[in-house]
Structure 1
Amino acid sequence: MRFAVLGNLTHAAIVEVAPRWLQWLSDRAEVVIADDLAAYLGVVSPRVTVAPRDSVHLNCDMLISLGGDGTILATAHVVGRSGVPILGVKFGGLGFLVEIGPEELYSALEAILAGRYEVQKRMVLEGRLRNAPEAATLYALNDFVIDKAGQMRLVRLKVMIDDEYLNTYISDGLIVATPTGSTAYSLAAGGPIMPPEMKAMVITPICPHSLNARPVVIPDEKTVMVEIATADTQAHLSADGQPARRIVSGMCVEIRKADYSVNLVRKSGPASSSFYDKLRAKFHWGEDLRK
């Protein structure tokens, strides 16, 4: 089996853990590590191959992402359409996408090497800029965010579902999220929690200037069209927190379900935890917090 490894270079704990288990894993499988992570770690096993970050996943059976949910999002953008399954190892804070902690690395990898794991498909969104000087197509595992680009005043965003007018939101911005992204920025903005296997997306306004503006869940076969509804106004479009693109009046963002999925590795058997287990653990549901 051939593993690729990427990591978040801001987590010092990775330096303490990674060299030892990379040595362990390279005794049992082929290992390819991203060049920036190799430089960050300093010394790695001579049996570990180093490759450019953007191509580290090529010809690999699985990609190990060291960090948090943000690292998995960045990893998903590297993997793209290749379909290489991603195993998230938690070195960050609150996370719904990471599957195991550093203390579980050895047991989890032994199970994976023995074929005891599951792969869960996660929906991806495709966003296209229309009427822009340069055509662009972006992809998001979590969400697309259109915001007011640092301006003090609110932005007016006209939203169409297929060819039907939905609303013009006067707000700080708008989030279009997948079920995976429903527990991220959309949730903080008041959106609903959706199970990852749900075939839907959610449109969530950011700080709308109206109590009537509410999140809307729509089927995943629909297309969302968002355009700036006032002249001489600009906004920013970002996908999964990646560097934003400037959009101005007259441009349109077209968002739909992409024609590929991201594959996330999950533990199988008694060691596995469900989405609802994670909700209880992260939000302390079922506990009396009034004490």
Structure 2
Amino acid sequence: MQVALYSRGFISEDIANIRLLLDELQRAEISATFYEPFYRILVQYIPFEKDPALFSCAEDLPGKIDFLMSLGGDGTLLDTVCYVRDTNIPVIGINFGRLGFLASIGKDEIHALVQALLDRTYMVDQRSLIHLDANIPLFGDIPYALNEFTIHKKDTSAMVKIHTYLNGEFLNTYWADGLIVSTPTGSTGYSLSCGGPIVFPDAGNFVITPVAPHNLNVRPIIVPNESVISFEVEGRSDQFLCTLDSRMETIDSSVQLAVKKEKFKISLLRLDESNFLHTLRNKLLWGIDARNRIKI
């Protein structure tokens, strides 16, 4: 079995857990390929008997990689979309960050994770992506995201007007700081913090959520992900921001944008006992109410 290890970096408190992970992989005779910038930092703290295989881009990943492990938070896991692309390599999110909706495997579950890989007692969820089309080249050859697409005002400029169309039919003009179109996976991210609903990961929807709308009667709306959502942007500023997850481009009002469901999906691995409801209860503290512990 072969795995790839990806991380943006780590803090000193993480070294013991990274060492534990490497020891567990060695015990299980699972070979590891390291993201090169991560390895260059890691080798300063953990000695290696021999130089491991390295990768720095999607093309460097060996064809026989079985899993890609993301060591960090949800932002780190979102980066892995740029590496696994349409290969269907399952991504394993080990949470070295904070909240961890996507990177749901805790540091205390490393031994259980490696054993589950050996025993094949894990689940793989298919997550839909959002794809961006534009009349100019944007985001290179990775015009898709796992969480969301956004249009946003730049810096401290005035709010923008975002004319939005659903399958070519006018939906609304959003006077706001920005607009989010999230996948079901992204419904617990930026969209949620702006008042959007929580959507189950396997739902066939997009969520359109305005950011600080000027009209208080404008609310988030759920639309089928078979829809094509297109936009025209204008405002007092000449430039706006367009993002796919954590990647960003600057555009102007001449740029035409449209989003739709991507043709392929991303695979996320989870342990058997973990599911979306379990994540909601643990991350959002649902059910943590003193009344639930009172016996009448």
TM over 0.5: yes
Which secondary structure state, in structure 2, belongs to the residue aligned with residue 17 of structure 1? helix
Q: Partner residue of 2:68?
A: 63
- Listed one character per residue, the Cα deviations across residues 25-46 of structure 1 (whole Å, up to 9, x for unaligned) are 1341221111111111113433
- The equivalent position to 1:53 in structure 2, one of 28, 51, 56, is 56
Closer, same or farther: CA 17–195 of 1 in aligned 2, 3 Å: same
The whole-number CA distance in structure 2 between the counterparts of 1:133 and 1:74 is 20
Q: Partner residue of 1:119?
A: 124
Q: Partner residue of 1:30?
A: 31
Which secondary structure state, in structure 2, belongs to the residue aligned with residue 193 of structure 1? coil
Q: Partner residue of 2:256?
A: 252
Closer, same or farther: CA 44–19 of 1 in aligned 2, 3 Å: farther
Closer, same or farther: CA 134–214 of 1 in aligned 2, 3 Å: closer
Q: Partner residue of 1:18?
A: 18
1:76 is the counterpart of 2:77: no
The whole-number CA distance in structure 2 between the counterparts of 1:225 and 1:120 is 29
The whole-number CA distance in structure 1 between the counterparts of 2:119 and 2:49 is 25
The whole-number CA distance in structure 1 between the counterparts of 2:218 and 2:163 is 13
- Say what the alpha-carbon RMSD is for the aligned residues: 2.0
1:184 is the counterpart of 2:189: yes
Which secondary structure state, in structure 2, belongs to the residue aligned with residue 38 of structure 1? helix
The whole-number CA distance in structure 1 between the counterparts of 2:3 and 2:48 is 14
Displacement of 1:134 after TM fit? Answer: 6.9
Q: Partner residue of 1:156?
A: 161
Contact 1:19 1:41 (C-alpha < 8 Å) held by counterparts: no
Displacement of 1:128 after TM fit? Answer: 1.6
The whole-number CA distance in structure 1 between the counterparts of 2:147 and 2:109 is 26
Contact 1:161 1:225 (C-alpha < 8 Å) held by counterparts: yes
- Listed one character per residue, the Cα deviations across residues 5-31 of structure 1 (whole Å, up to 9, x for unaligned) are 111304333322213431331341221
Closer, same or farther: CA 224–39 of 1 in aligned 2, 3 Å: same
Moved beyond 6 Å, runs of 4+: none
**Where do 5+ consecutive residues of structure 2 fail to align?**
292-296
The whole-number CA distance in structure 1 between the counterparts of 2:21 and 2:9 is 17
State the number of aligned residues. 285
Displacement of 1:274 after TM fit? Answer: 2.1
Identity of aligned residues (%): 33
Which secondary structure state, in structure 1, belongs to the residue aligned with residue 264 of structure 2? strand
**Where do 5+ consecutive residues of structure 1 fail to align?**
none
1:237 is the counterpart of 2:242: yes
Contact 2:159 2:235 (C-alpha < 8 Å) held by counterparts: no
Q: Partner residue of 1:93?
A: 98
Displacement of 1:277 after TM fit? Answer: 1.8
Which secondary structure state, in structure 2, belongs to the residue aligned with residue 21 of structure 1? helix
Closer, same or farther: CA 76–11 of 1 in aligned 2, 3 Å: farther
- Listed one character per residue, the Cα deviations across residues 88-141 of structure 1 (whole Å, up to 9, x for unaligned) are 0011011211131111101211111111111100000101222x3779561110
Closer, same or farther: CA 10–17 of 1 in aligned 2, 3 Å: closer
- The equivalent position to 1:216 in structure 2, one of 218, 221, 241, is 221
Contact 1:19 1:45 (C-alpha < 8 Å) held by counterparts: no
Closer, same or farther: CA 154–232 of 1 in aligned 2, 3 Å: closer
Contact 1:160 1:224 (C-alpha < 8 Å) held by counterparts: yes
The whole-number CA distance in structure 2 between the counterparts of 1:123 and 1:133 is 23
More moved, 52-61 vs 25-34: 52-61
The whole-number CA distance in structure 1 between the counterparts of 2:85 and 2:264 is 9
Contact 1:35 1:53 (C-alpha < 8 Å) held by counterparts: yes
Q: Partner residue of 1:264?
A: 268
Contact 1:234 1:247 (C-alpha < 8 Å) held by counterparts: yes
Which secondary structure state, in structure 2, belongs to the residue aligned with residue 214 of structure 1? coil
Closer, same or farther: CA 263–40 of 1 in aligned 2, 3 Å: same
Letter in 1 for 2:48: S
Letter in 2 for 1:23: D
Contact 1:146 1:237 (C-alpha < 8 Å) held by counterparts: yes
* TM score, norm. by length of structure 1: 0.92
Closer, same or farther: CA 44–113 of 1 in aligned 2, 3 Å: farther
Displacement of 1:288 after TM fit? Answer: 2.6
Closer, same or farther: CA 35–232 of 1 in aligned 2, 3 Å: closer
Letter in 1 for 2:264: Y
The whole-number CA distance in structure 1 between the counterparts of 2:255 and 2:267 is 32
Which secondary structure state, in structure 1, belongs to the residue aligned with residue 85 of structure 2? helix
Letter in 1 for 2:15: V
Closer, same or farther: CA 135–77 of 1 in aligned 2, 3 Å: closer
